[in-house]
Structure 1
Amino acid sequence: MRFKWLLVLLITSLSTYAQSGFDASLRQLNERIAEKDQYDQEKNTRINKLQNALELPENASAAKKYELYTRLYEEYKSFNYDKAFFYAQRMQEYGRKLKDPVKIAKGKITMGFILLSSGMFKETFDSLNTVNVRILPDSIKKEYYFLNARTYYDLADFDKDKYYTPVYISKASLYIDSALSLSNPSAYEYQYYLGLKDLKMGKNDQAEKRLMKLLNSHTISNHQMAVTTSTLSDIYIQNNNIDEAIRLLFTAAEADIKSSTKEAAAMLNLAQLLHKKGDIKNAFVFINEAMRDATYYGARQRKLQVSAILMVIAGEKVNSVEEQRRILFIYAALLTLLAAMVILFAFIISRQLKKLRKADKIIVQTNTSLQETINKLNEAEKIKEEYIGYYFNLISEYIAKLDQFKRAVNNKIVTRKFDDMQMLVNNINLKKERDELFLNFDKAFLTLFPNFVEAFNALFAAEHQTKPAADQLLNTDLRIFALIRLGIHDTEKIASILEYSINTIYNYKARIKGRSLVANDDFEAAILAIKAV
């Protein structure tokens, strides 16, 4: 028995530790997402320096331009599809101007990488098949072989066909072997591609050991970290260790953000795994980030891939919200029904008591000496007592049920963190709610139109300008025209929102327009011209 309790305690501790690790990784990734623009700005700064360097004199050498185009391509290749495609074309163009077949081939290989990153397999092969491999130096030849291997591996993953997938994996392995023969065994790329080959050949344990050793024994860049941990996550997914795969994808997604990599799939895969575990809230956040990256990168195929998953997760998020609303509606309906039943039984009891009192009065007034009448009176009194006890017991039961149901609803609301709904059940304060509604409207409106009050007052002479009270953001004058600025022109609707009569709203508008420096007919147009942030 003691061992059993120790085992339970150990499992509980491990579960708590795993959850705390997940929460820490989740918080850290969200912090990196908040800093994403900062990392992108650093990359754009490097790009701007290179683009400024392109402003060369007319007699500048083609070789210098080729070098700058190559560096710009390297910055853009995982950042912006259109720009990378453009500079890959320029590399080929200036390779031809230099009449250098190696530089032309290098441009075709870079073009192949961009096409593959966007999911265009046919076009990738078209570009790579035009490369004359024999003329290439070992460094570029190695790059050519690695790119062919990755293309066949990606095509195998895309097809997932029992016949073609093994063929593609076999071809990829041949290219991997050719590239490895030209690589330094101590280099990152050598170890990574060996691990990738093991993974694709089904040697998961060997691949895991090799990639883990790579992470622990090499100093690698953010982009290499993202690639390695993403590949490792595939191993854990195949082994059905989803929690470890998610942990690795947190690391990969964070590394992608730090390296401003937009074409990566780590964020997408993370959203899919969280969705699989039922964490719709975080899955929805990350799939939107993946779509933001795909849109920024600009490759149509990438956006289509993310969109398909985004629609599934978004649909389930909507269904989840609707289900919560439906449950709350059912609880509210049951509470209302229970209250109605209590009122109904109270009404029935009241009517029965009135009838019994009337019968008692009649019996007393007859004052008959007959035993039968006395017996009937006693019987009526007995019925009266029993009915009163029965109905009061029934009321007590329903009141107890109502109280129990109310506490259950409150507990449910607390569990779902809908604290304001508990306040609504226990203490409805319409004035406070209305004031809070107006305050929230004012805050939201001034977030969109922070200069609204100044722009509004600019339409009046100084003595007619509107100044809200110290505890207000907007007053009624400003609120009327804030609604008009939002596109609500119907006076009846404005009156309904602000809880004034239609005539009062007409009077407000007429008074305000009459004081304006602008003609009455042009005043609302001037309000609509106030710009948002």
Structure 2
Amino acid sequence: MRQAIFLFFLLLTSTNSAFANISAEAILDSLDQTIARKQEYEQQKEKELSLLKEWLREAATQREEFDLSTRLYEAYRKYQIDSAIVYAQKALKNAKTPENVQHTHLQLVILYSSTGMFREAETILQRLNKNELPKSLLADYYNAWRLFFNYYAANVQLPEYDQKTRTYRDSLIQVLNPESMFFRINQAESLIEKGETQPAGQLLTNMLGEINPENENYAMVTFLKGLLHEIREETEKSQRFFALSAINDIRKSTKDNSSIQHLAALAYEQGNIERAFQYSQVALNDALFCNVQFRTYYLTQFFTFINANYKEKIEKQKNQLLLFLFLISLLSLFLIGAVIYVYKQKDKVSGIRRELDEMNKELLRLNNNIKEKNNQLNERNTLLQDANQIKEEYIAHFFDLCSSYINKLEDYRKSLNKKAVNGEHEKLFKMLKSTSIIETEVEELYRNFDTIFLNLYPTFVEEFNQLLTDEEKSEPKNGEKLNTELRIFALVRLGITDSVKIASFLRYSLSTIYNYRTKARNRSAVPREKFEEMVMKIGTLRKPNQ
């Protein structure tokens, strides 16, 4: 077991030349170990999907729903196509821009084609006008047509659709970046189909020297390398690369795969019925789970054929075993009884162990759920504590300011009363006409506001400037804590977004406030429409990746 695990990690971190001396059988053994752990990788995949679904349920905006729905259908795309279609349709409902709508439609074409919904896929493609698509979507457009005809050709098996597939692949290659991995993969496929195996082999070898085994394209590159060696009838080499591709697919829970299907066929050709049965069973289960129609159709026929041969071999082995058991029974009936007794006890112990394993897994799952709920509860408690602290500080400052203004009004009333009693009417009228007191109090109000606000949000200026481009930072003058612009967005941070109320508080005209807000958005380092939304989040606790 340890040797198999060591070989498994060696294969994932080796270059083409590094595993050239490793036998195909050793790599296939590593694949068998990976298949044995297949359920673990699927459980990890389900956890990732559950987390994305939870985030989607908590999405606060239409944009967040679109982004998370997009991530979900991409995560389901090679895992379970029916679910991928559900989330692609949900993303389509929340798509705001024409480009997002068109891109999601193109993704739906690929998903529909995979499940045999060719009428729906063709309807979408016919509605899309290539000349109206942005340049960034041309590759997706040609790729959607390519896969549509590729899947259709696999179902109807007519050569003219294979030609259409090649035509759209050529168009796709024309618009892809020649340095991209996707370009080189399609170029390699094209060369293999044309029978140009030498340049295709050199291209794939170069790609394997560059690509990391964790890269999403690694399984495809190794599959093409295996396909190339299969065409050359280099069986051992093709098995190596198909096995590497299959290992990568299983570790990433990719159900839409072809490598293990090819391995099953090669195993059958070599007379290894057990391995052919195992691989074809894994491939068929994956195809049924993922709902890839053309693979399911082919594998159902292939598996039926393999299953018949497998049963025949098992039946022969069973007959031989019965003969051996009969001969052994003649030699020692007592030994048979002892063996039967031991096996019964072993089965009981195994059954108990399996039950304990299942109970442990269930307990682990429940513990994980409890931990997750506790973490969520702690986050909410922290948010509530912060909110309560802010409310307490607001109330304290509010009462302090009210008390201060009441005392000032009382002093001002006494001063006016004294002037009136002493008959100093001219001074009294002069005091009543003067605005200096109001201006002084307004300045004092702004100073108090700046002090209170920065006490509640000490990092406001720094975080606000992070939302602006480097050359457009907003800094208070010497002696100021906040300038006019910062004060406007401080009110926005407190939830006062109405420009009329802001203008009234700061004693500016409505147009002045509007100009300040517009200029700030134009200098934003984040998307313009999200600028004030980001201001509202300054100083708050956030979730990771949000």
Q: Does the TM-score normalized on the shorter chain lie above 0.5?
A: yes
- Give me the whole-angstrom Cα distance separating, in 2, the residues matched to 1:55 and 1:74: 17
Contact 2:169 2:186 in 1 (8 A): yes
Residue 67 (structure 2) aligns with:
67
- Cα 1:298–1:178 change in 2 (3 A) is closer
Alignment length, in residue pairs? 337
* Aligned counterpart for 1:320 among listed residues 313, 317, 332: 313
> How far does residue 242 in structure 1 lie from its aligned partner after superposition?
2.6
Give matches, 1:221-232, under 5 Å.
221-232=214-225
- Give me the whole-angstrom Cα distance separating, in 1, the residues matched to 2:156 and 2:240: 27
Contact 2:152 2:161 in 1 (8 A): yes
* Aligned counterpart for 1:112 among listed residues 109, 112, 117: 109
Deviations 1:275-317 (A, max 9, x none): 1221101111111211232233244554333222111111101
* Aligned counterpart for 2:144 among listed residues 122, 142, 147: 147
Matched residue type, 2:331: I
Give matches, 1:182-261, under 5 Å.
182-219=175-212, 221-261=214-254
Deviations 1:18-43 (A, max 9, x none): 99712211211011112222222332
- Give me the whole-angstrom Cα distance separating, in 1, the residues matched to 2:227 and 2:153: 14
Residue 48 (structure 2) aligns with:
46
Matched residue type, 1:90: K
- Cα 1:232–1:152 change in 2 (3 A) is farther
> How far does residue 198 in structure 1 lie from its aligned partner after superposition?
1.4
TM-score normalised to structure 1 length: 0.57
Give matches, 1:327-338, under 5 Å.
none
Alignment of 1:275 onto 2:281: no
> How far does residue 188 in structure 1 lie from its aligned partner after superposition?
0.4
Give matches, 1:520-531, under 5 Å.
none
Deviations 1:145-193 (A, max 9, x none): 12322333444455554xxx2x434433432333233322111011111
Matched residue type, 2:201: E
- Give me the whole-angstrom Cα distance separating, in 2, the residues matched to 1:118 and 1:190: 25
Residue 76 (structure 1) aligns with:
76
> How far does residue 252 in structure 1 lie from its aligned partner after superposition?
1.0
- Give me the whole-angstrom Cα distance separating, in 1, the residues matched to 2:222 and 2:150: 17
Deviations 1:208-241 (A, max 9, x none): 2222222123346453121122223232333222
Residue 467 (structure 2) aligns with:
none
> How far does residue 134 in structure 1 lie from its aligned partner after superposition?
3.1
- Cα 1:181–1:303 change in 2 (3 A) is closer
TM-score normalised to structure 2 length: 0.56
> How far does residue 255 in structure 1 lie from its aligned partner after superposition?
0.9
> How far does residue 106 in structure 1 lie from its aligned partner after superposition?
1.6
- Give me the whole-angstrom Cα distance separating, in 2, the residues matched to 1:222 and 1:287: 26
- Cα 1:278–1:90 change in 2 (3 A) is same
* Aligned counterpart for 1:290 among listed residues 248, 265, 283: 283
Contact 1:153 1:168 in 2 (8 A): yes
Residue 36 (structure 2) aligns with:
34
- Cα 1:254–1:451 change in 2 (3 A) is closer
* Aligned counterpart for 1:434 among listed residues 309, 321, 337: 337
- Give me the whole-angstrom Cα distance separating, in 1, the residues matched to 2:137 and 2:100: 10
CA RMSD of aligned residues (A): 3.0
- Cα 1:221–1:73 change in 2 (3 A) is same
SS at match of 2:331: coil
Identity of aligned residues (%): 23
Residue 90 (structure 1) aligns with:
90
Alignment of 1:23 onto 2:25: yes
Alignment of 1:137 onto 2:134: yes
Alignment of 1:443 onto 2:440: no
> How far does residue 423 in structure 1 lie from its aligned partner after superposition?
11
Deviations 1:227-269 (A, max 9, x none): 1222232323332223322221111111101211011121122
- Give me the whole-angstrom Cα distance separating, in 2, the residues matched to 1:257 and 1:271: 15
Alignment of 1:126 onto 2:132: no
Contact 1:25 1:247 in 2 (8 A): yes
* Aligned counterpart for 1:176 among listed residues 169, 173, 187: 169
Name which of structure 1's ranges 31-40 and 317-326 shifts more when overlaid on structure 2: 317-326
- Give me the whole-angstrom Cα distance separating, in 2, the residues matched to 1:281 and 1:137: 52
Larger relative CO (CA 8 A, sep 6+): 1 or 2?
Answer: 2
SS at match of 2:171: helix
- Cα 1:149–1:438 change in 2 (3 A) is same
